[in-house]
């Protein structure tokens, strides 16, 4: 069965550009309002330990300025747990975080980190926050997510995106199959599968065609495109490609 596919727009890199000059322009809040005005389904923001893009006060301002659900990407730390419980976003996606990385380079080791994740997942869940784990599309990680009792997993599409960019069609197909198989397995086990990372106009459609996926979270490419065509048009075009693929 094919479900509607939501588009969550990650606005982190609007804040990256703002922070490059230390002022308040461009404001990620304005980006969130534009996303809402063109029918985006949610706002995704990653509050990193080093605050390199989104900052603490942005979270409240985003929540105040739009009615769209906020998906807070967060590391599994006490500091981030406190912030999540203070802001009560609609959803929290737990991601691995390394200070020196340029971006979230791989999935969370949900299997290896069970004891660290269990109390954080249960506190978020007890407060009514929809918890997701950002994992590789691997059965071991999906089983760990099942054991942790999360309602949602987001599959990391970075390897797929790399293979696609390299023009390696065999590897691209292999990565795609892995994400499709794990999406089907997640749905079969009652977990809602999402996907994201490195998605572009060129590579989004085979992912969007995976029938069990309920949400894609896309950021860097949309903000990059927005430089040329505006955020409104970039989100519209991504939405169209996603719809066409279903
Ligand atoms: N989903 C998650 C969990 C992420 O951490 C990120 C970015 O860090 C994205 C989606 C969006 O990735 P991109 O910016 O490459 O579109």
- Residues 132-142 have pLDDT tens digits of 999 999 999 99
Q: What lines the ligand 1 site, CB under 6 Å?
A: 10, 46, 73, 93, 95, 103-104, 134, 154, 196-199, 217-221
Q: Which residues of 44-80 are buried (b: 16+ CB within 10 A; e: fewer)?
A: bbbbbeeeebbbeebbeebbebbebbbbbbbbbeeeb
Residues forming the active site: 46, 73, 197
* Mean model confidence pLDDT for the chain: 96
3-state secondary structure of 194: strand
Q: Considering only CA atoms, which residue is closest to atom 8 of ligand 1?
A: 104
- Model-wide pTM > 0.85: yes
Q: How confident is the model at residue 1 (pLDDT cuts 50, 70, 90)?
A: very low
- Tell me: pLDDT of 189 over 80: yes
Output the CA torsion sign for 72, 6, 242, 170. Answer: positive
Q: What are the pLDDT digits (tens) for 19-49?
A: 999 999 999 999 999 999 999 999 999 999 9
Taking CA atoms only, the protein residue closest to ligand 1 atom 1 is: 196
| Average confidence (pLDDT) over 128-134 | 98
- For residue 103, give the ligand 1 atom closest to its CA: 8
Instruction: Compute, in angstroms, the gap from residue 198 CA to the centroid of ligand 1.
Output: 7
- CA 218 – ligand 1 centroid, Å: 6
CA distance 246 to 243: 5
CATH fold for the domain made of 6-245: TIM Barrel (3.20.20)
Cα(45) to centroid(ligand 1), Å: 9
How many whole angstroms from 143 Cα to the centroid of ligand 1?
22
Give the pLDDT confidence score for residue 3 in this predicted structure.
Answer: 58
Ligand 1 atom nearest to 194, measured from its CA: 1
DSSP 42: E
């Amino acid at each position: 069965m094919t479900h509607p596919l939501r588009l969550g727009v990650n606005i982190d890199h609007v804040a990256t550009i703002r922070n490059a000059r230390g002022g308040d322009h461009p404001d990620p809040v304005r980006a969130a309002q534009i996303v809402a005005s063109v029918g985006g389904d949610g706002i995704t923001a990653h509050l990193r330990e080093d605050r390199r893009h989104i900052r603490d006060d942005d979270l409240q301002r985003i929540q105040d300025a739009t009615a769209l659900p906020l998906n807070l990407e967060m590391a599994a730390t006490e500091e981030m747990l406190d912030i999540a419980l203070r802001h009560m976003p609609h959803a929290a996606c737990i991601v691995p975080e390394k200070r020196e990385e340029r971006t979230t380079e791989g999935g969370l080791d949900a299997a290896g980190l069970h004891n660290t994740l269990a109390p954080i997942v249960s506190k978020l869940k007890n407060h009514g926050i929809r918890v997701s784990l950002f994992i590789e599309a691997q059965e071991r990680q999906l089983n760990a997510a099942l054991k942790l009792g999360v309602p949602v997993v987001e599959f990391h599409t970075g390897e797929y995106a790399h293979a696609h960019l390299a023009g390696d069609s065999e590897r691209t197909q292999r990565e795609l199959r892995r994400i499709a198989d794990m999406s089907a397995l997640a749905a079969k086990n009652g977990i809602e599968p999402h996907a994201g990372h490195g998605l572009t106009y060129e590579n989004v459609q085979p992912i969007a065609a995976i029938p069990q996926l309920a949400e894609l979270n896309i950021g860097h490419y949309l903000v990059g495109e927005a430089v040329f065509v505006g955020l409104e048009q970039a989100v519209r075009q991504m939405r169209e490609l996603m719809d066409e693929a279903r």
